[in-house]
Amino acid sequence: MLIMNNILITEKLRNLCPEIQLSCIECNVEITEKDDDLWKIIDRRCVDMEAILQIEDIKNNPTIAAARLAYKACGKDPARYRLSAEALLRRVVSGKGLYQINSVVDLLNFVSISTGFSIGGYDADKIEGSVKMGVGEKDEPYTGLGRGELNIEGMPVFRDDKGAFGTSTSDSERTGVTFSTKRFLMVIVSYGGDEGLEEATELATECLRQYASADQFEFEAIKQ
């Protein structure tokens, strides 16, 4: 069963974020520790962005600005719980570059800084049942990758039959991508309509093919 064919956006989240759209990519991947060719383009992109951007420019990026407004609408402070794309860009502009995790997570982060979209990356085999994207509830349990327990109340969140597993701030440990991941689900989240979403999907697909030997692709656009 394809996970992305069973993703729904709840009415509550649609009402709070009426321009929300998702671009979903599901594929088989081969994950390596580090792809040197990928890191050449990552390093080059980071140098270019550090040269032309200032920290204060990042929140004015239209894609990030729309996402920040969406967080506020749901009841979350985007300055305290930064969207992953904003956090990555701040790191790049500060001269720290990107973290090196594995080839699939690295290419996902490259697409994110290149487009401004916060992107979820999940081991599809660890997702159980149907998926709903809604709003986090008070005291809802969530363990973020590398972050420990995360307060997701008032945050847009993906849930499967076992509970919350993804947000635009941090993916979860439960569905995290590891070297044993074979089937990969990428969800590009736009809170501001379809502007730039097709281009981001094309870039992600190209990177997956080139740097993760991806095949058996399935695509799904989820709109209002």
Q: State how far the alpha carbon of 26 is from the alpha carbons of 18, 155, 169, in Å.
A: 25, 24, 21
Per-residue pLDDT of the chain in tens (224 residues, 90 and over written 9): 566 568 999 999 999 999 999 999 999 999 999 999 999 999 999 999 999 999 999 999 999 999 999 999 999 999 999 999 999 999 999 999 999 999 999 999 999 999 999 999 999 999 999 999 999 999 999 999 888 899 999 999 999 999 999 999 999 999 999 999 999 999 999 999 999 999 999 999 999 999 999 999 999 999 86
Is 3.50.40.10 the CATH number for 3-222? yes
The maximal CA–CA distance of the chain, rounded, in angstroms, is 45
Q: What is the pTM of this model?
A: 0.95
Q: Which two tokens stand for residue 214?
A: 């991806």
The order of strands in the sheet holding 156-160 is 7-9, 131-135, 156-160, 163-167
Domain boundaries, the chain: 3-222
- For β-strands 131-135 and 7-9, DSSP reports them as parallel
Q: Kindly give, in sequence order, each residue whose CB lies less than 8 Å from that of residue 32, ignoring residues fewer than 6 positions away.
A: 102, 103
How far apart, in whole angstroms, are the C-alpha atoms of residue 91 and residue 203? 21
Q: How far apart are CA 220 and CA 224, in angstroms?
A: 13
CB under 8 Å, gap of 24 or more: what pairs does 51-57 form?
Answer: 53/89, 53/92, 53/93, 54/93, 55/90, 55/93, 55/94, 57/93
Alpha-carbon radius of gyration of the chain: 16
Phi, psi (degrees; rounded to nearest 5) at 91: -65, -45
Instruction: Tell me if 141 sits within 8 A of 72, measured CB to CB.
Output: no
Can you tell me which residue has the tokens 């204060």? 56
Tokens 């870039």 correspond to what residue? 203
